[in-house]
Amino acid sequence: MTTVAAVGLLGPFREMEVRLEKEPETVQAEIALGTYLMSPRPRARHGAVQGNLFGELRSRLGLPHGPELPDWLFVIEPEIRSEKSYSRLAPDVAGWGRSTSGWPDLDETPVTLVPEWVAEVLSPSTAAADRGVKADAYGAMGVGWLWLVDPDTGRVEAFANVRGRMVPGPVFGRGQQVQADPFAAASIPIDLILL
């Protein structure tokens, strides 16, 4: 019975994907748990914070040290897809651990290997969805950790996946070091991320 219901929902999900692929580049379209989301392209501040977070994580955890590849691969706005959760999302930054989940095929779009960690940079037009249906979708997809970075309040909120749900963890503010899983040892000064 469950299989029949799941197969019945794949048709509408695939129809939403066709619609998503036809959207103009001036909007950000995503599907979260079968809900179609559209938002305007983010402001420049959003992109700067996104780039800062990517740069800080990559410099600490994603660069080779010697002849070996680094353990972590970070990607800005990869499109990730999960049929089981009826979701196709583009997190602001995503990370995969080579020693745990492995790295995705970087020539595949959308990526089907679920990242271990994702971050969303909040903006007034996306905060409700990022905290709500998108966080729920990341949990259902099996993403291990979610960070919500809020340039307006100067905070980073960390969440961990507990049995398919994103559970709130520590919150960091200006002047503090972000020490949250899975990168607690990296200890990133929040002021290097936020503007």
Tens digits of residue pLDDT in 31-84: 999 999 998 888 899 999 999 999 999 999 988 876 778 899 999 999 999 999
pLDDT at position 109, please?
93
Residue 11: CA count within 13 A, CB half-sphere:
4
Q: Is the pTM of this model over 0.95?
A: no
- Report which secondary-structure segment, H or E, holds 149: strand 145-150
Question: Binning pLDDT at 50, 70 and 90, where does residue 25 land?
Answer: confident
Look up residue 153 and give its two tokens.
């309040």
Is 3.90.1570.10 the CATH classification of the domain at 2-193?
Answer: yes
Q: Which two tokens stand for residue 96?
A: 């995969």
